[in-house]
Structure formats: structure tokens, C-alpha cells
Chains A and B, each alone.
Chain A
Amino acid sequence: MSLATIVAASEANKNPLLPDMAEMTIGIFSFLVVLFFLGKVLLPRIEKTLAERTDLIEGGLKRADDAQAEAASTLEQYRAQLAEARHEAARLREEAREQGAQILAEMREQAQAEARRLVEAAHVQIEAERLQAVAQLRAEVGSISVELAGRVVGESLEDEARQRRIVDRFLEELEQRSAAEQVTS
């Protein structure tokens, strides 16, 4: 291969840095077609689809979150109710206990009152019986003592009115004496 052919060949070749206008025109046309179909038609569609998918996934996540939140709030509610019920039960038990104690106290009070009343009544009866006994004694002591005295002195004190007067006088003296003793004491 001679030098002349190399030089000639390299001169015949176009400079690769100089763009061919026909090529460039067709290239621009081809690129504009691509740009139009992708940029105006196809990419907006896939963008929309991707956005929809994102929305859907995020929506699903949000729904799951909501459901979880609801479950949590329901659980909280149940717990609150349960606690309230327990509280209520405790309160009722307490009340019942108090009531029971109160009833017990009332009954005890009543029983005590009844007992006091009975004791009172018994005292009153005893007093009455005592007074009756005293009155009866007073009636009987006079005759017994007169009879005893008549027997002792050997003379019959037949004049009954006289006898009674002496005895009454004697008894009054006695009562006065005891009354005077009560006053002085």
C-alpha cells in the first residue's frame, strides 16, 4: 500500500467531527417522534398509573391504620367499662357491708331498748308489788302486834276504836320519825 493511497483515502473521508445535515434532520425527526409519543402520550399514562398505585397502597395502609386505631379505641373502651364495672361492684359491696353494719347496729339498739324497757317494766311491777306488800303489811302488822301485845300484857283490849287509835298514832310517829330522819340525812 503506497503512501499516496493513504493520504488520498484520508482526504476522501469526511471529517467525523462535521455533522451531516441530512443525518441531523432525520435524527431530529426521529427524536421528535420519540419525544412526542413518549412525552405526550405514554409517559403521562404510566405516571398516572404509578400515582394511582401509590395512592392505592397508601390508602390501604391508611385503612389498616384506621382499623387498628379503631380496634385500639374499642379495646380502651372495653377496658374502661370493665374498670367501671369493677369499681361499681366494689362500691356495691362496700355499701352492702355498710348497710349490714347499720342494720346490725340498729337491731342491737332495738334489742337493748327492748331489754331496757323490760327491765323498766319489771322495776315498776316490783315497786308496785312492794307498795302493795307494804300496805298489806301495814294493815296486818297492827292487828298482829295488838294481839301480840294483848297476849303479852294479859289484858284484853276490846275497845277496838281505842286500839286502832293507839296503833295509828304509833305508826304515824314511826313515819314522822323516818321522814325526819330522811330530811336530816
Chain B
Amino acid sequence: MSAQHLLAKTFSDEAPGLGLFDWKPIFYIGSVGITKPMILVLLVGLIVVAFFWAAFAKPKLVPRGAQNVGEVLYVFVREQIARPMLGKDAEKWMRLLVPIFFFVWIGNLMSIIPFAQFPVNSKIAFPLFLAVMIWFLMIGLGIKHQGFFGYFKNFMFPPGLPIFIYPLLAAIEFVSTIFVRPFTHAVRLFANMFAGHLLVALFCVVGYHFLVEQVTPLGVPVGILGVILTIAMTVFELFVQAVQAYVFTLLAAFYISSGLHADH
């Protein structure tokens, strides 16, 4: 097993680029190569289920240990995401929003966990299927709750505007709701994780290159700066990961709510 299997790239002669996200299969099942992101995404599922199993398998009226933490997180999703967006429907959709939030968040968190060190969501496949699922859900709910023509009429022709605006507005709204929404929903998460990982890797490589590979009197301060920036960027990534998981779930709730009610 060479470095390409676990580090995706040897950084001996160039700055980190797209190669960071191009993993060689570690082993094969049939003809399908199993790569590190696939193992990580399974690990994410395992961690989320294991944690919530420990917390909520036998919930007690007076919470203890993991249940305390689980309840804080659950209540955070309910009070900060579900209730403001969905109002009285919040309780019902919590069962979808909580898995989404923790799947995304733990997936992002993999970026700073030693030996994992790869944000699962910087592979477009994972945010994309979540976004497409939400998109189908949004359109399905819209057609179910507002009728087929009612749904399209409600979001393309909001009432109370001058009549000559409608042709333009309807086209913009149609494109933005049907095409741009799922795309930006997935790409926002993907691009943040992608860019964040690239930045952290870049500073890592700067530090490694100037402090280990080519030690020169002028290079050492640059290498030290690279290490400091790596630490700073890791802390910043920790923040960005949580914010992006929050935004992803918030938008999911917003899209679901836009399917349920016309007034959004």
C-alpha cells in the first residue's frame, strides 16, 4: 500500500490540487474499487448511529451521560432549525432533519479527525444525493399539498406584483427553484469542504516542504508560518464545518417548508 492509497498524492514536487480528492482504491469488491471516502462515509453512518444509540436507546426522564449531550443536540436542531422554518410541522420533520444534520456534520468533522483527515462531503456524490433527495421531497410535497398547477403557480406567480414583471419573474423563479436550488444546495456544502480541505492541505505542504524536504535559512520562517496557519485553518474549518452542516439542514427545512406552504 503506497502513499497514494492513504494520502491520495505524494507532495514531493507540486502544490496540492485536485489530486487531493482523487483516491486510488484500497481494495476491490468484485470490480468496484473501495476508496477511503467510501470507508469514511460508512464510518460516519456508524458513528452517528452508535452515538444516538448510546444516547437514546433507553431514554430516561432524568437524562444522564450521553443522553444529556444527545438531548442538547436534538433540542438545538429543533429550536434553531426545525421550529423557525417549519413551525407546527417541526416535530414530524425532525426525524429527517436530525439524521441529515448529523450525517453532514460528522462527515465534515472527518476533516480534522487524525487518520481520517478527509471531509467526506468534499466528494460531490454525498452532498448531491442528499440535495437531490430534498429536491424530490420539496417538489413532491409541493404537488401533494398545493396541487400540480397550484404549486407552480404559487412559486412562479406570487400575487401582488405589477403585471409586466411576471414573465421575467416567472422565468427567474422557475430556474432558481427547479435548477439552481438543488445545485447550490449540494455545491455550497461541497465547495466549502473542498476549498477548506485544499487550504489546510496547502499550508500543511508549505510547512512540510520548507521544514523537512528543503530546509533553507529563508525557508524555515515560511515553514513555521505554514504550520501556524495550518493550526489556524484547522480551527476555522471546525467552525465552518458546523456552520455548513447547520446551513445545509436549515436550507433542507426551508425547502421542505416551501413545498408545504405557498407563502414562502
Chain A residues at the B interface, C-beta cutoff of 8 Å: 1, 6, 9-10, 12-14, 16-24, 26-31, 33-35, 37-40, 42-50, 52-53, 56
21 A-B pairs with CB atoms under 8 Å apart are A1-B14, A9-B17, A13-B18, A16-B123, A16-B124, A18-B124, A21-B125, A23-B123, A29-B42, A29-B45, A30-B41, A30-B44, A37-B53, A38-B95, A42-B53, A42-B55, A44-B95, A45-B57, A48-B59, A52-B61, A53-B61
**Residues of A contacting B103 in the complex (Cβ-Cβ under 8 angstroms):** 30-31, 34
Whole-angstrom distance between the Cβ of B64 and the nearest chain A Cβ: 12
Whether the pair B38, A26 counts as a contact (CB closer than 8 A) is yes
For A6, the closest partner residue in chain B by CB is B14
The reply to whether A34 and B49 contact each other, CB–CB distance below 8 Å, is yes
Whether, in the assembled complex, B173 has its beta carbon less than 8 Å from a beta carbon of chain A, the answer is no
| Pair A23/B49 contact, Cβ less than 8 Å | no
For B22, the chain A residues whose CB sits under 8 A away are 12-14
The answer for the CA separation of A37 and B194 in the assembled complex, in Å, is 29
> How far in angstroms is the closest Cβ of chain B from A15?
9
B105 to chain A, nearest CB (A): 12
Tell me which of A27, A46, A49 contacts B125 (CB under 8 A): A27
Q: Which residue of B lies closest to A44 (CB)?
A: B95
Q: How far is the CA of A46 from the CA of B52 in the complex (A)?
A: 10
B57 x A42 contact (CB < 8 A)? yes
- Contact at B60–A49, with CB atoms within 8 Å? yes
Is A39 within 8 A of B96, CB to CB? yes
